[in-house]
Amino acid sequence: MGGHAVKKRRVVVAKRTGPGRSATKKPAVIKKPAAYATTSDYEEEKTCLGEGAFGVVFKAHHRATGQTVAIKHLSSPPPEVASDAPDPSEQLLREARFLEACNGDPHVVGFHCVVRDPDTIELGLVMEYVPGQSLRDILEDQRNGTAPPFPEATVRAFMRQLLTGAKGMQERSIVHRDVKPANVLVAEGAEVLKICDFGLAISTSDPTPHGEVGTVLYTAPELLLGKPDTDSLADTWSLGCIMAELVDGEILLLRAQRMCDEGLAYLWSIFWLLGTPDDVTWPGFASLPRAAEMPPRAEPTGVRLISHRAPNFDGPALMPPLKPGQRSRLRELYPEWTLSDEGFEVMSGLLTCNPEKRLTAAEALKLPWFAEDDEDYMTRSYC
């Protein structure tokens, strides 16, 4: 779902240890949301702020205080997935619990309460209203040529906020599982970014398997390979994909067009770009459920690569065969004139196939790139 922001006319943790890491603390218990109200307490506008397959978000006002909020209502799932979909009320209450657990985090959309319709007993989720746009809308404007590209200082300022939000989620043992530009709200003036839509979120204490969910273009490779449990490192992979998109406006790897499973096709694109994993670079890779479906091939796979604007990148139209030990090509896509060495250290650390070597949000925030002061990054308007 695209979030709460209205697009305006443009005027201008599973446990892991290793060097420098300590085991994650015991997962927090996500409690039942404490705040309830009735739908009569709010007056909804006809303004739709976001819509997805399972629900819609409307702008509303609290009748007593006049406060503007966003209210999310879940709808019945499409017939083709109805048998496997959770009960809408239970799903909304789960999302409310996760949002309430994050309340006070400046980079996660705020939680107000749950409303109940006294006639239908249907529930609604009342959240902070964020005037502005989704990050997806801004990036689409860039791709259409109606918005300027982000300078590196803005990319850094945005990533600092998103990683801070992800760090807060990790500290609360929450995994979002669908971090993508559509689920990032950018307030007017581009001063504040907020992660929204926790409809697919889980707690790391939830029983496994967690299931494969999310948007394939932002899904971590270990999940596409069938890893049964999900931790916060899946969210930091997604943030690496977002960072790459912020740098040049292009989606890191467009959905692979191929007459086969789209998740496997995307994996071929990942490994061509970031290097082919093996049991040296990724211990345990071969034991993942779908790893056997990814052998090197003697013939091109037919997976089409993205067309980047980088003029010096001479990528093939079709995916070439994968070779054992193949090196990463990420720096070829994002050379020094598009991203500094310090910035590339962050991007490549987030986009590491082996989750045990991937940066956590906290680790990324400690890197030299974030030592820069970005107080003047808003020299141009993006919203």
> Could you give the C-alpha distances from 156 to 153, 341, 378, in angstroms and in order?
5, 13, 12
Residue labelled with tokens 């409307």? 58
> Could you give the C-alpha distances from 34 to 97, 127, 195, 251, in angstroms and in order?
9, 14, 22, 39
178 flagged as catalytic? yes
Give the helix ranges, DSSP H, for the chain: 88-101, 135-143, 152-171, 221-224, 232-248, 262-274, 330-333, 341-350, 361-365
Distance CA 59, CA 69 (A): 6
| Given 178, 197, 231, 235, the catalytic residue | 178
Q: Kindly list the strands in the beta sheet with 111-116, ordered across the sheet, starting from the edge strand earlier in the chain.
A: 36-38, 111-116, 123-128, 68-74, 55-62, 42-52
Do the strands 55-62 and 174-175 form a parallel or antiparallel pair, or are they unpaired? unpaired
Do the strands 111-116 and 36-38 form a parallel or antiparallel pair, or are they unpaired? parallel
C-alpha angle 91-166-90 in degrees, rounded to nearest 5:
5
Distance CA 300, CA 317 (A): 10
Q: Is 357 annotated as a binding residue?
A: no
List binding-site positions for ATP: 72
List binding-site positions: 72
Residues annotated as catalytic are: 178
